[in-house]
């Protein structure tokens, strides 16, 4: 067998594979001999069918099968030995004139070659790395929420300031029927507030959705609409009061501190605020880290220029799925996936150039750390290594779990790498400021 490569350009090549009779004949004869031993042909005893008859009946099919096996095995071996970095898989060129009655064959395959490029981790403008802080306003709100959550509830018949009401916002024409509970203080404007104050259990109140709540998030929580949708639709909704409750906030005393964090862990309001701030900022760090990863990804795609073998990839997409696509459908799919492919190549180069590959041992240790963290949430603070090993082994026996953990660990490695090597500028923001900057 002889394989030669002709480079069309830097991104495209053609492989020519020449297969001679000597390359496959021995394997074909072996298969046919095995067929002869088991062939069940009328008029002949099993194992005594003439070889010529076996050859006539099965010879061509066996030859086609063995030649195709040779092709697949040796193509992959060639790509590995030549260290060719290809995109997709080799695509066979059409050979309508192929005659399987001949002894020698030549096959051609199109290759899409991975582009050569460098990754610049120092963009002209530094990428913003957000540090989300818990401000006093958020702390005050969180403490009020805790006090209400652990406070006493008194059932009432009439709504007064500071009460919360339960019921459903309804507009049958718009198919809106949202069961909810909210504090009257969350309503916006005197007219809306006055409509509820003094109302009794069983009363039905009619309001409009535009400008109903003071906070944007309350529209989604209590109406099932965004603030913009509530404003644009300006629906007239009815609300029948099913329940009125008044919450007496819990005192900020040692009894509450112990309920929240365990006996003696927090002993003052100052320590409580510090603890809530610490926990909140730890949670926000996950969001800011994910945003940093997203922003670095976008900047790398934007700043790393290289060409792709687009026509080859469109043909490969057309032929590689379960259902063959038209070329137009494949071209559309290529346009949708091109950005992701570019980042895969950039990420792969960063990983290879900086030895960021993941070992199975690292995945196992990462799994054990996650298990420990989950067990700690349920009060199991010191699990034995034997126990962790057993749970990790069960998790890692599932290939989907291994894949998921590998992706998480790789994202962590890349994030740590970017924090050290990419040009960043830290910006301290509150959560509201972060949402406004990133999502608006």
Rg of the chain, C-alpha, whole Å: 34
Among the three residues 248, 276, 311, which one is the final residue of a domain in this structure?
248
- What is the average pLDDT value for the chain, to the nearest integer? 92
Count of structural domains within the chain: 3
Dist. CA 308–CA 9, nearest whole Å: 11
Q: Quick one: pLDDT at residue 434?
A: 93
Phi, psi of 120 (to 5 degrees): -95, 110
pLDDT band at 99 (very low <50, low <70, confident <90, very high): confident
Residues 192 and 313 in one domain: no
Cβ–Cβ contacts within 10 Å for residue 422, how many? 19
pTM of the model: 0.73
Range of the domain at 347: 268-439
Q: Which residue has the higher pLDDT, 382 or 82?
A: 82
Mean pLDDT of 211-220: 92
pLDDT band at 53 (very low <50, low <70, confident <90, very high): confident
Q: Quick one: pLDDT at residue 380?
A: 80
Q: Quick one: pLDDT at residue 41?
A: 72
Does 422 reside within a domain? yes
Residues 38 and 92 in one domain: yes
Q: Quick one: pLDDT at residue 98?
A: 82
CB burial of 203-241 (b: ≥16 within 10 Å; e: otherwise) equals bebebebebbbeeeebbeebbebebeebeebebebebeb
Residues 109 and 177 in one domain: no
Does 107 reside within a domain? yes
H-type alpha helices, 183-268: 190-196, 216-223, 227-233, 254-261
Query: Which sign does the torsion angle of CA 152, 153, 158, 162 carry?
Result: positive
The CATH number linked to 237 is 3.10.50
The CATH number linked to 89 is 3.30.70.1050
């Amino acid at each position: 067998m002889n394989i030669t490569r002709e480079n069309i350009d830097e991104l495209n090549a053609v492989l020519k594979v020449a297969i001679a009779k000597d390359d496959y004949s021995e394997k074909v004869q072996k298969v046919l001999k095995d067929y002869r031993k088991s062939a069940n042909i009328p008029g002949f005893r099993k194992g005594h069918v003439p070889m010529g008859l076996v050859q006539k009946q099965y010879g061509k099919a066996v030859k086609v099968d063995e030649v195709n096996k040779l092709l697949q095995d040796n193509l992959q071996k060639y790509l590995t030995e030549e260290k060719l970095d290809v995109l997709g898989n080799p695509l066979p060129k059409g050979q309508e004139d192929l005659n399987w009655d001949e002894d020698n064959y030549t096959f051609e395959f199109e290759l899409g070659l991975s582009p050569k490029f460098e990754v610049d981790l120092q963009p002209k403008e530094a990428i913003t790395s957000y540090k989300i802080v818990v401000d006093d306003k958020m702390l005050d709100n969180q403490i009020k929420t805790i006090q209400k959550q652990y406070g006493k509830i008194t059932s009432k018949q009439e709504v007064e300031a500071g009460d919360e009401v339960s019921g459903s916002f309804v507009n049958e024409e718009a198919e809106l029927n949202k069961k909810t509970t909210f504090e009257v203080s969350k309503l916006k404007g005197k007219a809306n507030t006055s409509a509820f104050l003094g109302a009794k259990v069983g009363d039905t109140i009619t309001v409009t959705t535009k400008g109903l709540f003071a906070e944007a998030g309350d529209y989604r929580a209590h109406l099932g609409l965004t603030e913009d949708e509530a404003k644009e639709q300006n629906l007239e909704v009815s609300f029948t009061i099913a329940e009125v409750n008044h919450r007496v906030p819990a005192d900020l005393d040692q009894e509450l501190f112990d309920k929240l964090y365990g006996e003696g862990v927090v002993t003052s309001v100052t320590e409580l605020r510090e603890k809530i701030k610490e926990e909140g900022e730890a949670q926000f760090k996950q969001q800011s880290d994910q945003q940093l990863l997203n922003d670095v990804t976008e900047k790398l795609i934007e700043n790393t220029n290289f060409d792709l073998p687009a026509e080859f990839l469109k043909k490969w997409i057309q032929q590689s799925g379960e259902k063959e696509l038209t070329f137009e459908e494949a071209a559309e799919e290529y346009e949708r996936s091109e950005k992701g492919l570019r980042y895969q190549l950039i990420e792969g180069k960063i990983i290879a150039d900086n030895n960021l590959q993941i070992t199975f041992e690292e995945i196992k240790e990462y799994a054990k750390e996650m298990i420990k963290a989950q067990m700690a949430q349920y009060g199991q603070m010191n699990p034995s290594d034997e126990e962790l090993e057993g749970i990790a082994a069960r998790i890692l026996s599932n290939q989907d779990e291994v894949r998921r953990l590998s992706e998480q660990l790789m994202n962590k490695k890349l994030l740590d790498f970017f924090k050290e090597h990419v040009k960043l500028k830290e910006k301290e923001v509150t959560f509201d400021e972060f949402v406004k900057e990133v999502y608006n």
